[in-house]
Amino acid sequence: MGSKSAGKSAAKKGKAKVAKLPKKKCCVSSTKCKRCPLRMLKEGTLPPGYTVKKRRLVKVSVTSGQKGPGKGKAA
């Protein structure tokens, strides 16, 4: 039983290092809150895979780099 409690305390220590996710939508306050997506984007602390568009937090879709049909070269 002692090993389980040791594992839990190690997990709690790991959780303390994880940054909080930003809010889904900016509250448009003149003094930016700590979880404001605009502030986090500016500081570079926004989690990977996220960006801000129109004051809303959105996930960035990872593309394979291939272009769709009909795009690229003009005939």
Domain spans of the chain? 21-62
Mean pLDDT of 1-5: 58
Segment of 5-14, 23-32, 39-48, 57-66 carrying the highest mean pLDDT: 39-48
Pair of tokens at residue 23: 């809010």
Quick one: pLDDT band at residue 61, thresholds 50, 70, 90? confident
33/9: higher pLDDT: 33
Backbone dihedral angles phi then psi of residue 23, each to the nearest 5 degrees: -65, 160
Specify the pLDDT at position 21: 77
Cβ–Cβ < 8 Å for 37, 23:
yes
CB 60 within 8 A of CB 66: no
